[in-house]
Amino acid sequence: PFWLKLPNLLRPPSGLLSPAIMSDVNVPEMPDDMGDEMSDDGMGGDYNPPPELPEGVTKEITKVGEGWKKPKAGDEVTVHYVGTLAADGSEFDSSRGRGEPFVFTLGQGSVIKGWDVGVATMKKGELAKFTLAPEFAYGESGSPPKIPANASLVFEIELLSWLSKDDLFQDGGAIKTLLKEGTGWTKPIDGDEVRISVKCTAKDGSVVDERSGLDYTIGSGA
């Protein structure tokens, strides 16, 4: 990929996203009891207000996104972006110019600090312009030759989609990745009878087991 070659722009310079620096960045988590906060029309009412951006990051929405959901830390997000220098507007990088979206894991320090903070405030389809102070970009080191030291940057970012990933037991033993949105907001509880389809694959992608129309009772252990 382009960002692994010459400019290496979206990879933070050494030390820039150290744990000490990342400790003051709060990527909002989506609560599990989402349905309790939603209105009957499923639009969520006042639920999930935009998180407050830290000083040094400003956001201007160019195109409003869909719905109310936003990605959370650990989600795999797909974006298009154009990066320019705030000082003179010169472009230093663009996924649109390459014709290929950029994919990264949110809140893991794999991109510059301002991206982890800013993209967490976006909805699907939203187009926004973020202005980042140097401490949320490449800091004192910059990213030569295109980004000088202590440069403020402007990124136009479009959030195309994301894969929602949840560590169900907080131990890495079971990771849920949302492949298709369901309808409504209610979920089955213990004692409910459900019908599901199951497909089990190995790490190499080979199918180990696949069944449809499987009935069982939630919480029965069967």
- Contact assessment for residue 56 and residue 34, using Cβ atoms and an 8 Å cutoff: no
DSSP state of 93: E
Which residues are marked as active site?
81, 92-93, 112, 138, 155
Read off the tokens for 215. Answer: 């009935």
| Residue 83 bridge partners (DSSP) | 93, 155
Instruction: Measure CA 43 to chain center.
Output: 21
Angle of CA points 45, 162, 104, to nearest 5°? 135
- Contact assessment for residue 169 and residue 177, using Cβ atoms and an 8 Å cutoff: no
**Rounded CA gap, 145 and 117, in Å?**
25
